[in-house]
Amino acid sequence: MDYLKNLNEKYSLSKDQIAFYKKNKFIKIKQVLNEETVTHFNKIITKKVAELNIGNVPLSQRNTYGKAFLQMMNLWTEEETIQPLIFSKRIAQMAAELMQVEGVRLYHDQALYKEAGGGITPWHADQYYWPLATDKTVTAWIPLQVTPLEMGPLEFCAGSHQILEGRDLSIGDESEKIIEKRLKVTDFPHIIEPFDVGEISFHSGWVFHRAGSNTTEHIRKVMTIIYMDKDMRLKAPENVGQKNDWETWCPGAKVGGIINTPLNPILYG
């Protein structure tokens, strides 16, 4: 199967790409996956999301977070045919090289499906929710179709990992208002661009990012894979979200110890 070859063949990152990520803590890279691979996983992930999306509340009755997307976690444990994407050596190798670590573990995966008419994804930093001892984390954001601006692609504030204000905010109306106000008085550029088929972005846990609303009549389908340094240690949770993440994505891990559980396999290195 050609998609398996695509998922596991090496991608040669340039020195300039690695340097760009080091400075900005995000990067968009074209032609990581071929169209056949994207189409294959679009079908099986979309089918699984539909199966899991039971009792869905109408958009008009949801809060800002609920309007942002349908969110399904750790699909690799729900559907065997999704696992090859999550365990891709190609994408994991890129994550390790961008972070400049010897290897990476899986933190968890999540499907983020922004429905037609879905609202914004407010400004936030992912690592607010993660009980991880260092910032050696990166999320691969993998659109499963062409994603124009009207569909709500991911937006980044380049280099904003240096900003401490806003790190203590969960995603919602408050984070959108406070972080946007803070970013307006900085010189960090705001990057918003469409995504081609096969194009993937990588972003660090502390870089601020958001997404616009989906004004099209089609669902914006995205799969994400969150990686961490293979030697990542668990820290004592500092909020309810971090405690929940420990229990959900790192069950059995001990504070101060390397996060080596069946749900956190080494994917590269």
Give ∠ CA 268-158-16 in degrees, rounded to 5: 55
pLDDT at residue number 186: 84
Q: What is the mean pLDDT of residues 18-25?
A: 98
Q: What is the mean pLDDT of residues 144-173?
A: 90
Q: Which is more confidently placed, 208 or 182?
A: 208
C-beta atoms surrounding 62 within 10 Å: 14
DSSP letter (8 states) at residue 126: G
Q: What is the mean pLDDT of residues 16-40?
A: 97
CATH number at residue 58: 2.60.120.620
**What does the block give as tokens for 224?**
């994400």
Mean pLDDT of the chain: 92
Q: Residue written as tokens 């999306």?
A: 53
Q: Per DSSP, which regions of 177-254 are E strands?
A: 190-192, 200-204, 209-211, 220-229
Does residue 142 sit in helix, strand or coil? Answer: strand
Q: What is the mean pLDDT of residues 166-182?
A: 81
Closest by Cα among 92, 63, 59 to 76 = 92
Helix axes 15-24, 89-99, angle to 10 degrees: 60
Give ∠ CA 128-214-130 in degrees, rounded to 5: 10
Does residue 100 sit in helix, strand or coil? Answer: coil
Contact of 184 with 241, CB cutoff 8 Å: no
Identify the weakest region by mean pLDDT among 170-179, 233-242, 254-263. Answer: 170-179
Contact of 30 with 67, CB cutoff 8 Å: no
Q: What is the mean pLDDT of residues 202-216?
A: 95
pLDDT beyond 70 at 73: yes
Domain coverage including residue 14? 2-268
C-beta atoms surrounding 27 within 10 Å: 22
| Count of structural domains, the chain | 1
